[in-house]
Amino acid sequence: MRPKIYLFGDSITEQSFDDGGWGAALANHFSRTVDVVLRGYSGYNTRWAFKVFDRVFPAAETGGSEGAAPPLAVTVFFGANDACLPDGYAAFQHVPVDEYKRNLHSIVSSLKNRWPKTLVILIAPPPIDEDERLRHPYAENPSGLPERTNEAAGVFAKACVEAAGECGIPVVDLWTRMQQYPEWRKAFLSDGLHLTPEGNKVVFKEVMKKLNEGGISLGKLEVDLPVLADIDHADPLKAFQ
């Protein structure tokens, strides 16, 4: 059976198979070796994500009584919604930062309890372009203020990095990484929050780096069926015995 990598997160994960998406890029990279499984839920924060954990990862599907193989890796990518301002129009999605951090701990513990050897990678939320958020509201917004700020996203990103450190697992600090590029607002964000194809490339590269450091790379994975280069032109069927 082919091993799996689960992508668990909010809309930035749900949309990761759209044109140029980081999820599709992972699936393409591992096309002969790994099933990349999409578990993205638009709008979700860590409170809701932890509530649905057992339905996202049902025991029967993922290594309960039937002994299915544990996934190679799981990316956990939340925070963009938790960081909605508590007094903005998206306040119903907000989660206080202390609870956000606790929820990340709970999600990571649940994954690690079930699959001690699975590589769990946290991904911190991206930075926010507030001007673009005002141009792309997803609800009526008479206040004239953005529902998310870059500063708040940064507080949650920092908490995510801390949680990863406390859990002893790798983390992609997307908020910090993206802002190392002067053109991050236009280059990486399509609406001040979601990712352009270039922004998706940043996520893909950073996740690939963490997978690689965690021992997950094409060189170490078994291809389950013969590749064309290993098929003898004079006797092709030999490869399929």
Q: Catalytic positions, please? A: 11, 191, 194
79 binds a copy of itself (CB under 8 A): no
Kindly indicate which of the ranges 13-21, 72-80, 104-112, 179-187 contains the residues binding a copy of itself, using the contact rule CB under 8 A: 13-21
CB of 15 to a copy of itself, least distance (A): 7
238 binds a copy of itself (CB under 8 A): no
58 binds a copy of itself (CB under 8 A): yes
134 binds a copy of itself (CB under 8 A): no
Closer to a copy of itself at the Cβ: 1 or 168? 1
**Contact between residue 111 and residue 42 where contact means Cβ atoms under 8 Å apart:** no
In angstroms, how far is CA 126 from the centroid of its own chain? Answer: 11
24 binds a copy of itself (CB under 8 A): yes
**Contact between residue 114 and residue 95 where contact means Cβ atoms under 8 Å apart:** no
Burial class of residue 104 in the structure, from the number of CB atoms within 10 Å of its CB (0-12 exposed, 13-18 middle, 19+ buried): buried
Structure token digits, residue 20: 């140029």
140 binds a copy of itself (CB under 8 A): no
207 binds a copy of itself (CB under 8 A): no
Give the angle 216-81-157 at the CA atoms, nearest 5°.
Answer: 55
Total binding residues toward a copy of itself, as defined by CB under 8 A: 46
Which residues here bind a copy of itself, judged by CB under 8 A? 1, 14-15, 17-21, 23-25, 27-28, 31-32, 35, 37-38, 40-44, 47-48, 51-52, 55-56, 58, 60-61, 66, 92-93, 197, 224-225, 227-228, 231, 233-234, 236-237, 240
